Amino acid sequence: MHDATTDAGAREAQGSQPVAVSVLDVSMVYDGVHAVRDASFDLPRGRFLTILGPSGSGKTTLLRLIAGFQKPTKGDILINGTSVNAVPPHKRSIGMVFQRLALFPHMTAAENVAFPLKMRRTDARKIPERVDRYLDLVKLGGFGQRRIHELSGGQQQRVAIARALVFEPDLLLLDEPLAALDRKLREEMQLEFRRIQRELGVTTINVTHDQREALVVSDEIIVMDHGVIQQKAEPSRTYRSPRNAFVASFIGVTNFIAGDARSLAGDTVVVGVGESEWTGVIGDKACPLNVGAPVRGAIRAEQIRIARDGRALEGAGSRHAGIVSDAIFEGERVVYEVRLPDLGDTLMRVFDHGPHDTIAVGDEVYLGWNPDDVLVFDDEAGHP
């Protein structure tokens, strides 16, 4: 678990490292449609950044612009302080692991790993030793003579990683290489990426739509939607303080309560839904709310408690009666869907880790939560 002090520590470490990649006001337009719009960020050397977003959010386009496969319509990309807009991809010092791996099928594993060294005119006598070292790094020592199709999916992943790293690039790009793997192998490879990245200290940009992967592997997360960067922050901050409703909905299991802002006092907002009211805090302090404006409150499923007896939830701050409409057994927990008639029939998802067999579909239950956990966002923001 991160806390405020380690976040501050991370920022300090970040400040002491020179910037490896700068993206300055970059836009990419295809046929009049913005795939990326005015993206800007700095990435200090040695950091692991994940660009997280749904498909079509522009995350892969941004990665390909950095790799040099396409030129941005507008803006500048700097690597180690130098603009690379005019530098073709083969002259950039960037290693990349592709979504479909793009290993050369007519070469062995070792020939694949040796290819970047040959192309970069490394001393031929040093190549075999270096190839072996990197195959060892990805735990494929002894597999060098195998053809690509003779390797399993996980082993092919490892060859692709070795090929991307063997020439010691300034920057490593990962274009959703884990998307096609089954869950167990994917989680194993996530930790493997993390281990190798820490071992070599190479600056890394990873693209994924898997929120869990982003939280597990990254030092920093950029959340993108509709070509626009929605938030850039450390994983714990992204999770705890999403900047808008989109970020809140994309990461974690989040419930939304709609309504109109009725009164504001400091950070606290009272929101009305028909006859009843609920309370929350302003989600984005940089974006003030107006009384009367339509808003959405976001609260994580794990921050809600559920009980058959309302008295068990005393001290919860907010308490509402509801009807269980579904119960989904997920093994270590049960997810209840509860309809709250006094909050405009809002459907809330709640986790229950306790003894599972006490609540059934159709039961009347109470939900309780702390009003400080409800982040209130302007309904328009984050919805381009």
Contacting residues toward another protein, per CB under 8 A: 67-69, 88-91, 94-96, 98-100, 102-106, 115-116, 119-120, 163-164, 167
In angstroms, give the least distance from the CB of 111 to another protein.
10
Nearer to another protein, 69 or 263 (CB): 69
Nearer to another protein, 44 or 68 (CB): 68
Neighbours of 23 (CB within 10 A): 22
Cβ atoms of residues 259 and 292 within 8 Å: no
Nearer to another protein, 105 or 266 (CB): 105
Nearer to another protein, 98 or 256 (CB): 98
Indicate the DSSP class of residue 18.
P
Cβ atoms of residues 134 and 113 within 8 Å: yes
Nearer to another protein, 65 or 374 (CB): 65
In angstroms, give the least distance from the CB of 104 to another protein.
6
DSSP 321-356: EEEEEEEEE-SS-EEEEEEEGGGTTEEEEEEE-S-S
Distance between CA 269 and CA 259 in Å, rounded? 11
Which whole-number Å values give the CA distances from 219 to 53, 85, 206, 368, in the listed order? Answer: 17, 26, 11, 33
In angstroms, give the least distance from the CB of 120 to another protein.
4
In angstroms, give the least distance from the CB of 187 to another protein.
25
Nearer to another protein, 163 or 186 (CB): 163
In angstroms, give the least distance from the CB of 321 to another protein.
55
Nearer to another protein, 77 or 313 (CB): 77
Distance between CA 128 and CA 114 in Å, rounded? 8
In angstroms, give the least distance from the CB of 89 to another protein.
4
Find tokens 């062995």 and name the residue.
Answer: 108
In angstroms, give the least distance from the CB of 365 to another protein.
51
In angstroms, give the least distance from the CB of 200 to another protein.
18
CA 299-223-240 angle, 5° bins: 35
Which whole-number Å values give the CA distances from 88 to 42, 67, 72, 221, 358, in the listed order? Answer: 21, 9, 13, 27, 63
Nearer to another protein, 164 or 340 (CB): 164
Torsion-angle region of 274 (φ positive above 0: left; ψ -120 to 50: alpha; else: beta)? left
In angstroms, give the least distance from the CB of 100 to another protein.
6
Distance between CA 39 and CA 58 in Å, rounded? 10
Nearer to another protein, 160 or 233 (CB): 160
Cβ atoms of residues 193 and 154 within 8 Å: no
Nearer to another protein, 93 or 303 (CB): 93
Which whole-number Å values give the CA distances from 123 to 22, 117, 118, 128, 167, in the listed order? Answer: 32, 8, 8, 10, 12
In angstroms, give the least distance from the CB of 147 to another protein.
13
What are the CB-based long-range contacts (under 8 Å, 24+) for 113-122? 113/144, 113/159, 113/162, 113/163, 113/166, 114/166, 115/163, 116/163, 116/166, 116/167, 117/166, 117/167, 119/90, 120/167, 122/167
Neighbours of 237 (CB within 10 A): 18
